[in-house]
């Protein structure tokens, strides 16, 4: 395809992008790695450049870490369940012949484009607020005691907010996948006498499995670093402190850089485990 001359030019053209990403990746990451082995607390003017794995030990054995992992898993798991389950149903629904399909699609997709701080604040104040939120009005209208979502069920509240933002993403991708299923295949199954439910189980679901995997992996990567929604609703209180948030607090709030950096490195390792699987799928697709 190419000649020598164009190869050299190509290398030159890729260089800037590779260079800036390499710098972006390596310098801060190496600094974090360096700090993670140091006792570095600027507020107390403490700087001990090498304390071995003490930060890692302290971070991993602290109760805050264990609970943050549990919170993270609950949050990510909850959001994934809602978005995948809801996404499959919405995608199948939107694939049906309906009036005004384009408009419905726009309505469904809209939440994805709402700024995270906006959606968190809108839900927090106008829906979950115990005095003036819409849900409280609804409870009262039904003769029930209003429920204080953000202090009684803070984790659930955040899951609802974030799931609302990501359900459109799952729906859109799964809809794309549903539409790529050939109708001939479904008609063949119908001719073979498969009822609707088993057509879903044996044809649609296997067809969607790849798209579902991709949605799970991509969402996991983004969801592991949820920040703004927690920042403006609970600020990490009431059992909503995820790993990301814990690291943020250690680094910027309590200014224990060494400990926070160790946490940061742990977060990087965990994210990479997910990333490897995603890369493998993406990489396979590149070959075709």
Partner 1 sequence: MARAISTNKKIMWTSLAWGFGLVMFFPILWTFLTSFKSEATAIADPPVWFLFDWTLENYTAVQERSNYPLALSNSIIIAVGSTILGILIAVPAAWAMAFVPGKRTKDVLLWMLSTKMLPAVGVLYPLVLLAKWLGVMDSRILLIVVLMLINLPIIVWMLYTYFREIPGEILEAARMDGASLRNEIIYVLTPMAVPGIASTILLNIILAWNEAFWTILLTTVDAAPLTKFIASFSAPEGLFYAKLSAASMMAIAPILIMGWFSQKQLVRGLTFGAVK
Partner 2 sequence: MGRITLEKVQKKFGEVEVIPPLDLTIEDGEFVVFVGPSGCGKSTLLRLIAGLEDVSDGEIRIDGKPATDLPPAKRGLAMVFQSYALYPHMTVRKNIAFPMKMAGMDQAEQDRRIAKAAGALNLTDYLDRRPGQLSGGQRQRVAIGRAIVREPAAFLFDEPLSNLDAALRVGMRMEISELHKSLETTMIYVTHDQVEAMTMADKIVVLRAGHIEQVGSPLELYKAPRNVFVAGFIGSPKMNLLGGSHAAAHDCTTIGIRPEHLDVVASGGTFTGRVGVAEHLGSDTFFHVHVDGIAEPMTVRAGGEVGLTHGDTIHLVPQADKVHRFDDKGLRIA
Residues 5-64 that bind partner 2 (CB under 8 A): 5
Smallest separation (angstroms) from partner 2 to the CB of 212: 35
Give the 3-state secondary structure of residue 20. helix
Nearer Cβ to partner 2 (4/145): 4
Pairing of strands 46-48, 39-41: antiparallel
CA–centroid distance for 258 within its chain: 26
What whole-number distance in Å separates Cα of residue 251 and Cα of residue 263? 9
Q: Which does 4 bind (CB under 5 to 8 A by kind): partner 2, partner 1, none?
A: partner 2
d(CA 73, CA 67): 10
Other beta carbons within 10 Å of 113 = 8
What phi and psi values does residue 107 have, to the nearest 5 degrees?
Answer: -60, -45
Least distance between partner 1 and beta carbon 267 (Å): 5
Size of the site for partner 2 (CB under 8 A): 4
CB of 52 to partner 1, least distance (A): 20
Query: Which strand (E) or helix (H) includes residue 2?
Result: none
Q: Give backbone dihedrals phi and psi of 60, rounded to 5 degrees, phi first.
A: -70, -30
Q: Which is nearer to partner 1, 78 or 108 (CB)?
A: 108
**Candidate segments 1-9, 54-62, 126-134, 228-236, binder of partner 2 by CB under 8 A:** 1-9
Q: How far is the CB of 63 from partner 1 (least distance, A)?
A: 19
Residue identified by tokens 């408009």 is: 103
CB of 5 or CB of 142, closer to partner 2: 5
Contact 244, 173 (CB under 8 A): no
Q: Is 183 in the site for partner 2 (CB under 8 A)?
A: no
Which lies closer to partner 2 via its Cβ, residue 1 or residue 197? 1
* Residue 174: CB minimum distance to partner 1, A: 9
Q: Which does 32 bind (CB under 5 to 8 A by kind): partner 2, partner 1, none?
A: partner 1
12: its two tokens: 């030159």
84 binds, among partner 2, partner 1, none (CB under 5 to 8 A by kind): none
41 binds, among partner 1, partner 2, none (CB under 5 to 8 A by kind): none
Residue 10 CB, shortest distance to partner 2, in Å, is 15
- When asked if residue 3 is in the footprint of partner 2 (CB under 8 A), the reply is yes
Q: Is 62 left (phi over 0), alpha (psi -120 to 50) or beta?
A: beta
CB of 120 to partner 1, least distance (A): 8
Structure tokens at 68: 């943050």
User: What's the rounded Cα separation, in Å, for the pair 122 and 11?
Assistant: 48
Q: Judged by CB, which is closer to partner 1: 109, or 155?
A: 109
Considering only the stretches 2-10, 47-55, 99-107, 174-182, report the one whose residues sit in contact with partner 2 under the rule CB under 8 A. Answer: 2-10
Residue 4 touching partner 2 (CB under 8 A)? yes
CA proximity to 250, closest of 73, 45, 36: 36
Question: What is the DSSP track for 97-130?
Answer: --TTHHHHHHHHHGGGGS-HHHHHHHIIIIIS-T
Contact positions vs partner 2 (CB under 8 A): 1, 3-5
């Amino acid at each position: 395809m190419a000649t020598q001359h164009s190869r050299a030019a190509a290398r030159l053209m890729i260089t800037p992008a590779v260079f800036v990403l390499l710098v972006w990746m390596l310098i801060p990451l190496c600094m974090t790695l360096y700090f993670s082995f140091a006792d570095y607390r600027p507020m107390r003017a403490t700087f001990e450049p090498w304390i071995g794995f003490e930060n890692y030990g302290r971070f991993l054995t602290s109760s805050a870490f264990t609970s943050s992992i549990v919170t993270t898993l609950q949050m990510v798991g909850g959001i994934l369940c809602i978005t995948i389950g809801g996404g499959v149903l919405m995608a199948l629904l939107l694939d049906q012949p309906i009036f005004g399909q384009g408009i419905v699609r726009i309505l469904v997709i809209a939440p994805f484009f709402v700024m995270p701080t906006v959606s968190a604040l809108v839900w927090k104040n106008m829906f979950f607020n115990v005095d003036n939120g819409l849900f409280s009005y609804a409870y009262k209208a039904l003769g029930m005691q209003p429920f204080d979502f953000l202090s009684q069920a803070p984790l659930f509240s955040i899951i609802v907010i974030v799931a609302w933002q990501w359900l459109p993403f799952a729906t859109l991708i799964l809809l794309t996948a549903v539409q790529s299923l050939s109708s001939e295949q479904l008609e063949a199954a119908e001719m073979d006498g498969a009822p609707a439910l088993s057509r879903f189980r044996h044809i649609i679901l296997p067809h969607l499995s790849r798209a579902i995997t991709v949605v799970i992996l991509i969402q996991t990567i983004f969801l592991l670093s949820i920040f703004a929604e927690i920042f403006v609703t609970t600020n990490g209180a009431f059992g909503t402190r995820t790993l990301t948030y814990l690291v943020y607090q250690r680094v910027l709030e309590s200014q224990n850089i060494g400990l926070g950096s160790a946490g940061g490195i742990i977060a990087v390792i965990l994210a990479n485990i997910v990333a490897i699987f995603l890369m493998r799928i993406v990489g396979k697709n590149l070959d075709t």
